[in-house]
Amino acid sequence: MTTSLTSLPENRPNDPRPYARGWLGQLLRRLHFYAGIFVGPFILIAALSGALYAISPQIEKVVYADELTSQETGPALPLADQVASATTYTGGGEIISAVRPAPEPGTTTRVMFEDPNLDESESRAIFVDPTTAEVTGDLTVYGTSGSLPLRTWVDQLHRSLHLGDFGRYYSELAASWLGIIAVAGLCLWVMRARRARNASAMLRPTMKHKGLRRTFSWHASVGVWAAVGMLFLSATGITWSQLGGDNVTKLRAALDWSTPAVSTDLGRDSATGESDAGSHSGHTGHEGNAGHEDGAHKGQTDAADTGGIDPADFDMTLAMARNINVNTGLVEILPPADAESAWVVQEIQRSFPTEVDAVAIDVDTMEVTDRVDFSDYGFASKLARWGIDMHMGTMFGLANQIVLVVLAIAIASMVVWGYVLWWQRRPKHDPSRNFGVTPVRGALAYAPWWSVAAVALVAVAIGVFLPMVGVSLLGFLIVDGVLAMSARRRARR
């Protein structure tokens, strides 16, 4: 939403040549202005809710301390005992979708069940003390990150304003335009710095002036420092969007940048497919399962009590995976979807170094049927994994979270400063004008034909790849056209 401190008047000058030389700056200024005015509220909401999401893991640990922590000390019981305890608590007969062993001493095990009353990617989690097998809690969890209700609520606020799929258009609009606004603002800053006698002074806000000039210095200087972060959040945020995200998925598939996924099909080689970009928690949901149906394995609990799954198989598959490629505490064990599918043990550590190895195991033959290591990922797939994890604040722990909060506050501040600039630039001699004048229109009128063609081509390409940008840009043009006609009518009077 940056605007220059001195703008050209709405009427074109008699000599078009100076205007022609500055057509690009005027075009970027007007684009930056309109996008900031109309998309600013969406970006503001996304920034503030994103900051809240970034610190939600710490809040979650306090709010759900009883469920997440174990007060007992001593060796952990077999997973079979813990799964049996959770199954008894639920009454038996429910389908186990996944088990997450306690990652470290003092924490609890999660036994997750399918629940038809929950939304996609949600599971009913029974928290079990690994040293006593006592149930410590019963909560709904979401996705691979294992978000508990509070963090899930914040996540859905950030993602869709709790309006479902329709609400996701808000975040897509914010993510799509955030990068464009950042690029336009950075270009304007560079153009202004080239004309300035002391360009380095533009890297920090000035306190020498008041009013418009002080607000502009804060908006511009903070914006140039935050530009890279804004581009990063925009690029990674688009991967979760409905329309633009689908185009990103198609592009990755066309370029063979898909993420390797372990195959659960017994007797087939590994497949490739998308994972971790479909939801804000990284994983779209646990694989559904009908239970392991042969019932041949013996365990400490009747297999019928766990929907056909032998609890002892959790211990066996985890032990086998530990000898293959699973070497982190954060692990998820997925029972098979049916008798023709394998068990899966996968790492879910999103902090650095990334641990997302996975192995598929046939419990009948005790053979490994497939495995995928993070080292097998292509470079583009690794970048996508790292980008998503940094966007969520999990890759570098607390440091990552602090950076995200600071960046979110900077973005929210720039939106507010932009609106203040608009108000401060109102004509003081015209009390009827409550807001500032808009940057000059008609910048392309004196631009070379090839520049006009290039701008049109870029606008169409971006609008097709990011549909929310295309629709909103068309809306900007309509509003601008109406304002232009209104200005002409006033001029004739």
pLDDT at position 291 is 33
Nearest residue to 346 (alpha-carbon basis) of 374, 375, 379, 308: 374
pLDDT at position 428 is 66
State pLDDT tens for residues 412-421.
Answer: 999 999 999 9
**Tokens 């293959």 sit on residue:** 324
CB atoms within 10 A of CB 410: 16
Domain ranges of the chain: 16-55+161-245+396-492, 61-159, 255-308+318-392
What are the phi and psi torsion angles at 115 (to 5°)?
-140, 115
pLDDT at position 307 is 56
pLDDT at position 227 is 96
Helix (H, G, I), strand (E, B) or coil at 191: helix
3-state helix, strand, coil in the chain (%, to 5): 50, 10, 35
What are the phi and psi torsion angles at 470 (to 5°)?
-60, -45
State pLDDT tens for residues 199-212.
Answer: 777 888 887 878 88
120 DSSP 8-state letter: T
| Predicted structure pTM score | 0.83
* Cβ-contact 343, 366 below 8 angstroms: no
**Spatial separation of the C-alpha atoms in residues 229 and 206, rounded to whole Å:** 23
pLDDT at position 278 is 36
Question: Domain 61-159 adopts which CATH fold?
Answer: Nuclear Transport Factor 2; Chain: A, (3.10.450)
Residues of the chain with pLDDT under 70: 1-21, 267-307, 428-438
pLDDT at position 12 is 43
Strand order in the sheet with 343-347: 135-142, 122-128, 109-113, 96-100, 331-334, 343-347, 358-362, 367-372
